[in-house]
Each structure stands twice: as structure tokens, then as C-alpha cells.
Amino acid sequence: MRICMTLPDKLIDELDEVFKNEGYSVRSKGITDVLNNYVHSHKTE
């Protein structure tokens, strides 16, 4: 599924720097991993 969102330029720059340092070559993969980690860390079972 494709989504679209608007984020502040500063946040995008910071995310790109983190993703680059983590070895991501594609921003969307980094964002997917960040969202998955967030969801998994906030699940209540």
C-alpha cells in the first residue's frame, strides 16, 4: 500500500542522515522499519 505524508524539511534531513548511517539506500525501507519498530514496541498483549 502506498501512503503520502508531509513532513518538515528538517525532519526529512535528519531521517536521511540516520538512514544513510544505518546503511539504507532507500528512504521508504527505513521509514517502514521505523514504523514497524514503533508498532511492535507499543503493542499490548
Per domain, the residue ranges of the chain are: 9-40
HEC assignment per residue over the chain? CCCCCCCCHHHHHHHHHHHHHHCCCCHHHHHHHHHHHHHHHCCCC
Q: Tens of pLDDT along 6-44?
A: 999 999 999 999 999 999 999 999 999 999 999 999 988
> 31 near 15, Cβ under 8 Å?
yes
pLDDT of residue 44: 80
Shortest CA distance to 34 belongs to which of 24, 45, 44? 24
pTM, entire model: 0.80
pLDDT at 13: 97
